[in-house]
């Protein structure tokens, strides 16, 4: 017997749907008939305040964009109304390991080269190695052979542009020519085509068995000469940077041992490639002026006028000389310096310039002595503690160095520790003395002298040496 439930459900469901639809329609009708809510009136001064806030937000956005592009110079260099300037030399497009290569070196600070210059020096070494092997085998050195060898050695792309840079840095390293009818086993180069060839420039005395020979010692000399040329190029940019400082500085190149602390080495402009020989092109038109000269009288006046205008624009574009490097504009005075005497600022800048000049001309031996002087105050405290613990007036130098090495926070060899103790005795002979008795060396200390006076004299000696 069928159940009555489904029949009752099927009858009530359309009725419920109709009631819901009618309810919704009535609510929609009431909402349409209801008057819209009135917005509150805007205060009189709110428009100017909103505009000022909007302007400040736009200025903050520009500053954030400039900082993200690597051109933000802080509150003194970028204001809220300035537009971010494009990054120079493409530094924003370079990865960080190239832009900050000089800062990541673990070697002592000195005349370090930019990353791209070091890569070029390594390319020159690879070119010299391959060219030396081919030259000593009396083979013709073509760019195609050198390119393949350099790319296999360095795993980097090597193009004619790099050869032009090598010629610009070291012009007397190779003779470059365009030659044809060179035997080739490459399917991409025909024997009748011109190829760029390289020939090392050697002296008359560099011969072996009656013919020129590129020896290993000569390769090392050429490598050192190329490195010196790269350093000289960076020195020129460094001198231009020093001339833009306030006050301007001038350091002799032969006395320069490190770059200025604010000189960004990795932002030095790239080397402009020198002109390489090109294959001769006979009866081949390449410019609008040549087309105009060849076809004069055979075309309409309108076409001649258009070609003449194109030739004029090309000549004007070629006459503009590219700017190699832009001198940094001097930074504007900060608002924090308002009210400070100009004479005082000049004296401070002159003192800072003298300090930086002494830093840039300091020799390696002076740098080592300065580092030792900086460690002496802490070592003097440890040495006095060692003598107090041992309860003796004199100690063997070997024992004193061992005790000092155990107590000093930085690991140091016994020989280096002895150098520091001897320097300590040299600076303060009335406090520490070194005595050689028979085959042993002893160090004697005056434990009654005030330790504060001792460390003060050592710090003063370090400051005087740093000012030299």
**What CA–CA distance (Å, rounded) separates 127 from 145?**
10
Q: What is the CA radius of gyration of the chain?
A: 39
Furthest C-alpha separation in the chain: 130
In degrees and rounded to multiples of 5, residue 110 shows phi and psi of: -170, -150
- Specify whether the CB–CB gap between 274 and 164 falls below 8 A: yes
**Is 364-467 in the same CATH topology as 115-239?**
yes
The SS3 assignment for 137 reads coil
- 364-467 carries CATH number 1.10.10.1420: yes
**What CA–CA distance (Å, rounded) separates 415 from 398?**
9
pTM of the model: 0.53
Per-10-residue mean pLDDT, the chain, length 468: 48 64 73 56 63 74 69 41 41 72 65 91 95 91 91 92 94 92 66 85 79 89 94 91 87 86 88 90 61 65 73 67 44 62 80 75 73 88 90 88 88 85 90 89 89 90 78
- List the 174-179 sheet strands across, edge first: 141-142, 195-200, 174-179
Domain edges within the chain:
61-93, 115-239, 364-467
Strands 211-212 and 207-208: antiparallel
What pLDDT was estimated at residue 364? 64
**What CA–CA distance (Å, rounded) separates 248 from 328?**
12
* Residue 156 C-alpha from the chain's centroid: 20
Q: Looking at 112-166, which runs of residues are DSSP E strands?
A: 141-142
**Reported CATH class of domain 115-239:** mainly alpha
pLDDT tens, 186-211?
A: 656 666 688 899 999 988 777 777 78
């Amino acid at each position: 017997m069928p159940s009555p439930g489904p029949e009752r459900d099927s009858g009530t469901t359309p009725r419920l749907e109709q009631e819901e639809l009618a309810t919704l329609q009535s609510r929609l009708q009431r909402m349409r008939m209801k008057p819209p809510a009135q917005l509150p009136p805007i205060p009189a001064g709110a428009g100017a305040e909103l505009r000022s806030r909007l302007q400040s937000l736009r200025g903050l956005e520009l500053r954030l964009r400039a900082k993200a592009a690597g051109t933000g110079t802080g509150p003194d260099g970028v204001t809220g109304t300035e537009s971010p300037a494009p990054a120079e030399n493409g530094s924003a497009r370079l990865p960080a390991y190239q832009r900050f290569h000089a800062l990541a070196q673990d070697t002592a600070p000195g005349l370090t080269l930019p990353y791209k210059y070091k890569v070029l020096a390594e390319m020159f070494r690879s070119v010299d190695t391959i060219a030396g092997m081919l030259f000593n085998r009396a083979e013709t050195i073509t760019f195609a052979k050198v390119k393949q060898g350099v790319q296999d050695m360095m795993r980097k792309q090597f193009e004619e542009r790099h050869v032009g840079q090598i010629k610009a840095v070291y012009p007397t390293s190779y003779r470059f020519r365009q030659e044809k009818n060179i035997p080739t086993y490459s399917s991409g180069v025909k024997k009748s085509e011109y190829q760029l060839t390289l020939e090392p420039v050697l002296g008359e005395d560099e011969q072996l068995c009656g013919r020129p020979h590129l020896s290993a010692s000569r390769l090392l000399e050429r490598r050192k000469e190329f490195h010196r040329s790269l350093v000289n190029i960076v020195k020129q940019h460094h001198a231009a940077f020093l001339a833009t400082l306030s006050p301007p500085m001038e350091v002799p190149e032969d006395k320069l041992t490190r770059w200025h602390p604010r000189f960004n080495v990795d932002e030095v402009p790239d080397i402009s490639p020198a002109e390489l020989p090109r294959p001769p092109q006979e009866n081949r038109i390449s410019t609008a002026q040549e087309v105009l000269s060849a076809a004069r009288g055979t075309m309409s006046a309108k076409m001649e006028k258009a070609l003449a205008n194109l030739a004029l624009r090309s000549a004007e574009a070629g006459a503009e000389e590219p700017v190699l490097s832009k001198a940094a504009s001097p930074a504007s005075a900060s608002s924090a310096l308002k009210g400070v005497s100009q004479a005082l600022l000049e004296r401070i800048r002159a003192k800072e310039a003298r300090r930086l000049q002494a830093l840039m001309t300091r020799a390696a031996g002076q740098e080592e002595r300065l580092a030792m002087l900086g460690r002496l105050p802490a070592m003097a405290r440890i040495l006095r503690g060692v003598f107090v613990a041992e309860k003796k007036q004199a100690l063997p130098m070997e024992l004193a160095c061992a005790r000092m090495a155990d107590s000093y926070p930085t690991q140091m060899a016994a020989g280096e520790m002895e150098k520091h103790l001897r320097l300590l005795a040299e600076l303060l002979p009335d406090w520490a003395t070194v005595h050689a008795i028979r085959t042993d060396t002893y160090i004697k200390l005056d434990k009654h002298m005030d330790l504060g006076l001792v460390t003060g004299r050592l710090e003063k000696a370090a400051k005087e040496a740093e000012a030299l």
